[in-house]
Amino acid sequence: MSAATILEPVDTTSVARTPWHARLALRYEHRDARTVLVHRAHEGPLVVQKPLYPEGDAVCQCIVIHPPGGIAGGDRLELDIAAGPGAIAQLTTPGAAKWYRAGGHEASAHTRIRADAGAVVEWMPQGNIAFRGAQARSWLQVDLCVDALYIGWDVVCLGRTASAEIFDAGTWRQRVDVRRDDALIWSERAVVAGAAPSLNSLTGLNGAPVFGTLLAVADTVDDSLLAACRGVAPLSGDGVVTRFPGVLVARYRGHASAAAHAWFATLWSLLRPALAGRHAFPPRIWNT
């Protein structure tokens, strides 16, 4: 009797491959009461499909798609978003970005947003999942002119929690810089290393694998709006809202990315009417 051959599953994230270097550049302009995507250029696997207008001509919605579905070691993604005077652009993604085990090579995603006078840019991706062993670097740069408005968030899940994976190896690096009229008004850095004490400390993540930040950058955020946002609590996990000059910040930590997104979406439904003068109209892709 011949011995049976047992095939071990292959970890495709460690197989030798050529890294993806992808770039997508978008520019929106306000023309005849309509926001138009006037420029769209891409290199590599980072694209948007047909611009959408689910709430009328004033707001142009785009879904940023990364066809490979995951970011592996050595991959580099660059997204450039520019909104001309008075344009209103809303961007999201079809799902969470998956950051694979690095195999010794760092992967990066760099998002640059520029909003001219009176423009509104909403950047609301559906989060990140950092696999055990990922070496990931995320950088967001926002440059606003005069009375331009930015509302955006980011959610990170350390490890594949559905598979009980623990982020005990790897590093997540995150940087956010916001400028208003070329003056730096918000800047932060985060380095989360696998198995670091901060993952379980009370002043860190307190054992929670999910964390996120929402920023609303506006000329003013009045007391009533701040109070309204503070009056909303996440369904699970911890959430806190604070205000700095020209910036409202919401922080989340917990065990469920869905709870973080639901809380941020609720805050957005309060912030958007007050700051942009438009009712919240959630992208349909969030329900798929």
Average pLDDT value for residue range 26-33? 97
Burial grade of 67 (CB within 10 A; 0-12, 13-18, 19 or more): exposed
> Within a domain: residue 12?
no
Average pLDDT value for residue range 175-203? 95
- Taking the C-alpha atoms of residue 53 and residue 69, their distance in angstroms, rounded to an integer, is 25
Q: 227's torsion region: left (phi>0), alpha (psi -120 to 50) or beta?
A: alpha
> Within a domain: residue 105?
yes
Average pLDDT value for residue range 212-238? 97
Look at residue 288 in the predicted model and tell me its pLDDT.
81
**Residue 130 exposure: Cα atoms within 13 Å on the Cβ side:** 31
Q: What is the residue type of 243?
A: R
Say yes or no to pLDDT of 6 above 50: no
- Taking the C-alpha atoms of residue 99 and residue 77, their distance in angstroms, rounded to an integer, is 12
Confidence class of residue 36 from pLDDT cuts 50, 70 and 90? very high
- Taking the C-alpha atoms of residue 23 and residue 45, their distance in angstroms, rounded to an integer, is 8
- Taking the C-alpha atoms of residue 148 and residue 113, their distance in angstroms, rounded to an integer, is 11
Look at residue 102 in the predicted model and tell me its pLDDT.
84
Look at residue 16 in the predicted model and tell me its pLDDT.
56
> Within a domain: residue 140?
yes
Question: DSSP label at 19?
Answer: P
- Taking the C-alpha atoms of residue 122 and residue 95, their distance in angstroms, rounded to an integer, is 16
Number of domains in the chain: 1
> Within a domain: residue 5?
no
**Residue 274 exposure: Cα atoms within 13 Å on the Cβ side:** 21
> Within a domain: residue 10?
no
SS3 category, 28: strand
> Within a domain: residue 14?
no
> Within a domain: residue 253?
yes
The answer to whether 94 and 63 are in contact (CB under 8 A) is yes
> Within a domain: residue 11?
no
The answer to whether 136 and 130 are in contact (CB under 8 A) is yes
Say yes or no to pLDDT of 38 above 90: yes
Give pTM, 2 decimals: 0.92
Look at residue 26 in the predicted model and tell me its pLDDT.
98
Say yes or no to pLDDT of 104 above 90: no
Q: Which domain holds residue 231?
A: 21-287
- Taking the C-alpha atoms of residue 272 and residue 218, their distance in angstroms, rounded to an integer, is 11
